A = this chain, B = another copy of it.
Amino acid sequence: MRVSRLMLATLRDIPADAEITSHQLLLRGGFIKRVASGIYAYMPLMWRVLQKITSIVQQEMNAAGCLQTLLPQLHPSELWKESGRWQGYTAGEGIMFNLKDRQGKELGLGPTHEEVITSIAREIISSYKQLPVSFYQIQTKFRDEIRPRFGLMRSREFIMKDAYSFHRTEKDLKEKYNKMDEAYKRIFEGCGLNTVAVEADSGAIGGGASQEFMILADSGEDSILTSQDGLYSANLEKAISIPKKPLELDGKDTYIIQTTNQKSIEEVCSNNKLDPSQILKVVAMLAITQEGKIQPLLLTIRGDQDINETKLTNAIETELKQNILSLKQITKDGLISQGLSSNWPFGSLAPDLSDDLLINAKTWERNFLRLVDNSAAELKSFVCGSNSIDKHRKFMDWEKLGGLPKKVDIRNSKAGDSCVHDPDQKLLERRGIEIGHIFQLGKKYSNALNATFTNEQGIEESFWMGCYGIGISRLAQAAVEQHHDESGIVWPIEIAPFEVIVVIANINDSNQQKLGEKIYQELIKEGVDTLLDDRPERAGVKFKDADLIGIPWRVVVGRDAASDKVELVNRANKQTSILSSQAAKDALYRDISNKS
């Protein structure tokens, strides 16, 4: 390809609306064009990058025995109602774009395809003899993001590879899951990327074990906690750990301490010579379920710890056996609108707060779901509120509170915590960009959609299912976030739009022009993805563009062309050698055949 015909349109200035480096570089290099908020066109250079990633993904998916398909992007609401996800994905904070067609039928724009593929599987798979089977597709998906940003990182249209597997047994599912885990590692390595696999929450997709693949980068939106020995990695939503030991509180006889104007745990501590780990933090919240139930919650955690909303949601869903649409704090305004006294002892709440406060609620449930985090449950003696304004109780224990509520893990793990696998190991916090996610779905969707097969005993049974995603367009940008320098992008050669750029320094010099063309033609003939910069621009402009768009190797044909000498420049380390044209080509063939 000739640069003169590539429609290269690079920008010198940093675009104002691009916050992170990879987004800036993709815009400056002309790889993407913004069409609307969170909606981008992939221009020719970017399309080549996406194609290279796609090929690597296809090769590994095919090798893992997955069959490529292409599923619809418009999903009938009926299927999502069968799985119970329509409302959650379209109402309130739901991220599924949806519309009515000319017949008034509701359709969603697919953000994920569990419903569609499960409905097809229930139609075409009838016997255990047809199992296992896995389907995948590479396709544009849609999310009506609350806050689209960072270019392709959090866009409203994005390219995904998603795969779905169907099995007779949980054992088969786990085998496939492990196989996909390995395939994923080969894919990311094949793309020239450094990734970390972390334990993850299954979120709205649902199901059992799941794992995310992260590209480490300071601009990443995800918090990752890893052990010092690298044996444990999880994202913040999922991470488990042992919090630091609480300071002991010696004393048995409970008494009231006056805590007037001490609004926070910090204030209670500093005024009373206490440590936050000696105090119970009690929070009153509401959980709104998909079925419309509004459940008051009374949550207790150790004073130096924070509640993890994902873990909390999972715990409540387990208790209520209903999906949670949203969580919010109980406020005075909320109490008033329920016709309740707004005179709750906020700031002095305790786990034994009476259900009587809810007795006149209009639409809320009339008793609290009480949950206590392990960190608080383990305390022998503690300070807690008294359910009266400006008063706390010292030297309390769970017996005095009327017993321990339901014990759960709803705590945010954090850097400095001890690891479960080895308490001598501490957790470290890193930032990451999620580019892949694999899930053991179990029977969640097959049960909901009544997708069954006849097993060896002749009995109808729901499929065991797994699902496996890779964000293709996000991966492309994350690669830039991981591989760039002050001059621009430094593409890993495996996914670079071109492997080599031949720059003719002065296009009016016939020696340079001839030698440049010759090298270009020969590289093309040998199957090297080569770009020829044949523009009538100054050499400096061409070098800057070549650096910005990140082509791994640059062959400069300049003043020494007459004596068949060229300059070979490595984009990553900027090493430069003066070589004969043949030696330069040989060096390129060696490097490129090693890499691909």
Contacts and interface: CB of A to CB of B under 8 A. Distances in A.
A72 interface: yes
A115 to B, nearest CB: 10
Contacts of A116: 35, 41
A591 B487 CA distance: 53
B42 A69 contact: yes
A426 B402 CA distance: 100
A74 B119 contact: no
Nearest to A62: B1
A454 interface: no
A72 B157 CA distance: 7
Interface in A79-96: 79
A98 B99 contact: yes
B70 A47 contact: yes
Number of copies: 2
Contacts of A79: 35
Nearest to A43: B69
Interface stretch (A4-12, A200-208, A417-425, A539-547): A4-12
Interface string A237-276: 0000000000000000000000000000000000000000
B65 A5 contact: yes
Interface in A91-139: 97-99, 101-103, 105, 107, 109, 116, 119-120, 123-125, 130, 133, 135, 139
Given A40-B72, A44-B67, A73-B73, A144 B101 contact: yes
Contact of A99 (B72, B97, B124): B97
B123 A33 contact: yes
Contacts of A50: 70
A142 interface: yes
Interface in A152-170: 156-157, 159
Contact of A144 (B33, B102, B140): B102
A16 interface: no
A67 B6 contact: yes
Contacts of A123: 33
B67 A42 contact: no
Contacts of A48: 68
A36 interface: yes
A71 interface: yes
Contacts of A44: 67-69, 135
Contacts of A133: 5, 7
5 contacts: A7-B133, A35-B119, A42-B69, A47-B69, A73-B142
